[in-house]
Chains A and B, each alone.
Chain A
């Protein structure tokens, strides 16, 4: 299916989904994330493959991006959801797609987003007792030497 057809199917079931201008991303509120994921995994869309989870620190809010593909139907979709900095909690998708387990652990380690009902939410790349969330824009560390600008 083409991206606009995928969006039409999702919009028909979930009226709160919005299309992002300029890209093929679909913005959904964080409360409906788990329900939308369960719907996307089954037929007719059959998104069986959660490829990548990214977070972007937009300074006033945190953007979460989920990239999904379907091996069966040969199409893909990008889901986006926004979180406020005071409430960085979102439902975990590890029961829907098993690849979400480690991908969400990485987002927690680098950004501090807490995934509710995750089976094992620990740091994965940094040491387990690391303080702070490195990829946030306001992160500072004594070892972090900035490259001198010429």
Chain B
């Protein structure tokens, strides 16, 4: 059910000629607003964190995509960019932080370690083999070790495209 359909006047607006068009345009407006101002959470765990900071710095400038406001508190974020290796001791923290983020929320797994464990897949006892094995659904995977800041920007653009093409604006 789209967010716009939940307002009490939605059924009435549909009856007015041109009302459906007005609702769809407003929906695309909401989706455009959501995609253009994704606020990431500062969740850099390991090496990929520095490429994320470099993406936020002046050369690559993630702010021109609207995602320049890195918030530390999960309550104020839209997207969690997991950058770095996930270790066993950190599992509970990630689950708790993900649960604390308000809807609509998205997850970007940045780097080989967050996707599948990376070079720490074999012969380790303390590394979680990727975000999916934690039970958290990931929206965009950005491979690389570490991925260049340009790759992170492409991943962000893919996420924005995904949001704009969503079936409903509720996420």
Contact = CB atoms under 8 A, between A and B. Distances in A.
Do any CB atoms of chain A lie under 8 A from CB atoms of chain B in the complex?
yes
Interface of A: 125-127, 134, 139, 141, 143-148
Interface in B112-171: 121-127, 129
Contact of B122 (A127, A134, A141, A147): A147
B15 interface: no
B59 interface: no
27 contacts: A125-B126, A126-B88, A126-B89, A126-B126, A127-B88, A127-B89, A134-B125, A134-B126, A139-B125, A141-B125, A143-B88, A143-B124, A143-B125, A143-B126, A143-B127, A143-B129, A144-B123, A144-B124, A144-B125, A145-B121, A145-B122, A145-B123, A146-B122, A146-B123, A147-B122, A147-B123, A148-B122
A134 B124 CA distance: 9
Q: Is the interface of A mostly helix, strand, loop or mixed?
A: loop
Contacts of B124: 143-144
Nearest to B123: A147
Nearest to A144: B125
Contacts of A125: 126
Nearest to B89: A127
A126 to B, nearest CB: 7
